Amino acid sequence: MALANEIIGSSFLHKTSSVSSQFQGKQFFRPIWVVPVAKRQVVAQLRKAVNSPVAAISEDLVKVVPLDEKPVKYKVRAVVTIRNKNKEDIKETIVKHLDALTDRIGQNVVLQLISTEIDPKTNAPKKSNEAVLKDWSKKTNLKAERVNYIAEFLLTSDFGEPGAITITNKHQQEFFLETITIEQFANDPIHFPCNSWVQSRKDHPAKRIFFSNKPYLPGETPAGIKKLREIELKDIRGDGKGERKLSDRVYDFDVYNDLGNPDKGIEYARPRLGGEKIPYPRRCRTGRAPSDTDMTAESRVEKPLPMYVPRDEQFEESKQTTFSLGRLKAVLHNLIPSLKASILSNKHDFHGFSDIDSLYSEGVLLKLGLQDELLKKLPLPRVVSESSQGLLRYNTPKILSKDKFAWLRDDEFARQAIAGVNPVNIERLKVFPPVSNLDPDVYGPLESSLKEEHILGQINGMTVQQALDENKLFIVDYHDVYLPFIDRINALDGRKTYATRTIFFLTPLGTLKPIAIELSLPSTAPSSRSKRVVTPPVDATSNWTWQLAKAHVCSNDAGVHQLVNHWLRTHATLEPFILAAHRQLSAMHPIFKLLDPHMRYTMEINALARQSLISGDGVIESCFTPGRYCMEISAAAYKNFWRFDMEGLPADLIRRGMAEPDPSKPHGLKLLMEDYPYASDGLLIWAAIENWVKTYVTHYYPNPSMIRKDEELQSWYWESVNVGHGDLRHETWWPELNNCDDLISILTTLIWLSSAQHAALNFGQYPYGGYVPNRPPLMRRLIPDENDPEYTIFLNDPQKYFLSALPSVLQATKFMAVVDTLSTHSPDEEYLGERQQPSIWTGDAEMVEAFYGFSAEIRRIEKEIDRRNSDGRLKNRCGAGVLAYELLAPSSEPGVTCRGVPNSVSI
């Protein structure tokens, strides 16, 4: 109330009610923009939830036009909410004050209202006068996060409903426009949720266009704003030429030709991903010049210089701060191995498990006399040099929180296949022994070396066929993913791996136990020992062999998790749909409004990944076994395994044999492993998303012909498939888009992937992988047998051999620092069931109410997940030393929490 008094004057708040009473009983035109009576109560309720101030017109500005009079002029007041930066650099502060000075002499912010109606005299949209933001100079020094400015428009009583606002920024500096609110009568505000950077006219001369929150399908767009809808989309698409400036908001497609840096040397060159030779999804085009030594490779932008993404896709300030702090943390952590490396070697190993434990308990004392030269090469040295104790500590990963030795147990190794950070590769074993789909002419004999005698004694007296028939055998199979790359990987310095298969048995308790691991190498000769089966131990020697075999399985798993399930299936394959949505769907389109929160930050984090994580010699190559072949493995998976129609949770579970259709069940399918935490929790969220999407879609498309005739919608899907995923555009499995069921399925899948699927695969990375022995991302030694020279070393000190097979200190601490950052929720995270400005994101009150219903269902699901984690009958999520499964629990505090489902792929 105090804020409202300050903005519009206290007298108005007390007099507004008298305005309408003065005209009761008289015959007048209905005042402009008055909400029908049937909707007023709903709108009034929604207004209570609006946190931002709303504008109002004062009593003396209201003019109500009798039937027999000509239109008259009157003023409308608007509140424009601009979000300030919390921290400004010196240049920004100087320019800000310069703008405050020049604002007084006409270098200001100019707005103009555009009506939804056409002026019959001019055959053009009705427009208000141009209005400027008042008091900019007076409010320059306000330290508030949000500052509200007033603008007044002069309208005529036949102006109609405002549908758009144009803005010209004559200042030198951009500003972040959050909302504009216009209020004609107390019950009838008009909201413009902008949430966009408005650039200076000197950088972008064209006026910025913002539409009201009222959704329109293309064919229903009012005549007054129809042309603006087309202009805005044309501007966003750009012309596909030139290098993009950081201030641009142009969305376009390109191939992944910027991962390598051939100008640094041939060892830094990487193949182009995308095209007939190596199919891959498209990424955002930057238009940078080609490298000097390879015209097909785009020149690199190295840290700390920023990568281009459209301006509104860049991290907001609090998110950027969190990410930068994480990066700082990684820099500090990397000092530890760097210092050790300066004394010993780059391949320094952990001497014992106590060395790893000390990273969490004691930290590492910085050798101040040795760090000076290193600090010159690293950013932010002052933070290190001023460290009071010189100690750098990692937080204790959650895997150690309930049982320090859980990682050694077979049941925990198996439990993580269904409730860990990568629970999406386990399949029901349908045929024994398992078979390969690789070409034997290329890869030689592919028969599995697994035999019945390897598992017979471990399946409770059953025959293998009985166990198959009763759905008791399961497999995590990485044979076909890795085998084509094994020779090249094992030729790299310090990299050794197998193509693994792991067989699990479902016990009567509903838990899994591993019963055999197959380790395969390419068959180089008829007598080659290319395949090996390791079974659970019976003595000390076989115990260490078994532990090494499990470590190799985890290394395979970590690679497929990061390169395929996490990066490819949630980051890379979603970007084309996001690019096409901005290019083809107007901000007024109801489907754009639905998808908007699920696209937040994805393009920015993907660009940062191209710069630092998946790039040549980047973090992923440094820390994961496949090294320089990491992204080629990702591309092979895209070509051979990825199918959009199988990315939805029910379809994926059925494909993997983990569920079968059953109409009698709540989700239309029956889990063959009832206590499968990822699947059982995921189905709750999938159903909630699907119901919400169904409500939304059927509201706007009451019959199929409307979907087929929606040019923007059809263009979005066509471009997503034929351009964004153009290398696979001819595949027959792409869903059609002809009716509501098609659209509901496509949208549900996209929202599932961007929210719950990504959360399940991402936010457990440090809690599970932060203790490297539990989940080594890289292996450096194969398992010796009796004929190998290393076998004697292994027998004499198996613990030392085991640790030498894991990542080095340098590799391990670098990996830990990175996954710590990736597992962190920022303070501005927006979780499933939440969205910015929840009551005004759309002007459709019925859909706002439906969204609140969806939010309530998400809260109910969270309580159900909490209940399940306390149910002692569910052994895979409850028990002594067993971690609760919370990766699909929707809400979270900031930080590394091992829970929380953000709306989008935002980290």
Which sequence positions are flagged as catalytic? 566, 571, 758, 762, 907
b (16+ CB within 10 A) / e for 515-551:
bbbbbbbebeeeeeebbbbbbbeeeeeeebbbbbbbb
Q: Give the span between the Cα atoms of 468 and 503, in whole angstroms.
A: 12
Q: Give the span between the Cα atoms of 316 and 178, in whole angstroms.
A: 12
Tell me phi and psi for residue 645, to 5 degrees. Answer: -70, -10
Q: Give the span between the Cα atoms of 266 and 463, in whole angstroms.
A: 55
Q: Give the span between the Cα atoms of 885 and 878, in whole angstroms.
A: 8
Q: Which helix (H) or strand (E) holds 493?
A: none
Q: Is the bond into 271 cis (omega within 30 degrees of 0)?
A: no
Give all strands (DSSP E) within 718-821, no chain letters: none
HEC string of 69-99 equals: CCCCEEEEEEEEEEECCCCCCHHHHHHHHHH
Using CA atoms in the order 747, 751, 756, 758, what is the torsion angle rounded to 10 degrees?
A: 110
Residue 105's contacts (CB-CB under 8 Å, 6 or more residues apart) are: none
Task: Give the DSSP letter string of 656-714.
Answer: TTSEEE-TTSTTSEEESSS--HHHHHHHHHHHHHHHHHHHHHHHH-SSHHHHHH-HHHH
Taking each helix axis from N to C end, the angle separating 540-560 and 630-640, rounded to the nearest 10 degrees, works out to: 70
Spatial contact of 602 and 659, defined as CB atoms under 8 Å apart:
no
Q: Give the span between the Cα atoms of 611 and 597, in whole angstroms.
A: 25
How many alpha carbons fall within 13 Å on the CB side of residue 159? 27
Residue 343's contacts (CB-CB under 8 Å, 6 or more residues apart) are: 367, 370
Q: Give the span between the Cα atoms of 678 and 166, in whole angstroms.
A: 47
Q: Give the span between the Cα atoms of 84 and 173, in whole angstroms.
A: 12
Spatial contact of 164 and 586, defined as CB atoms under 8 Å apart:
no
Q: Give the span between the Cα atoms of 540 and 697, in whole angstroms.
A: 61
Spatial contact of 236 and 125, defined as CB atoms under 8 Å apart:
no
Dig out the tokens for 210 from the structure: 């913002």
Q: Which helix (H) or strand (E) holds 805?
A: helix 798-805
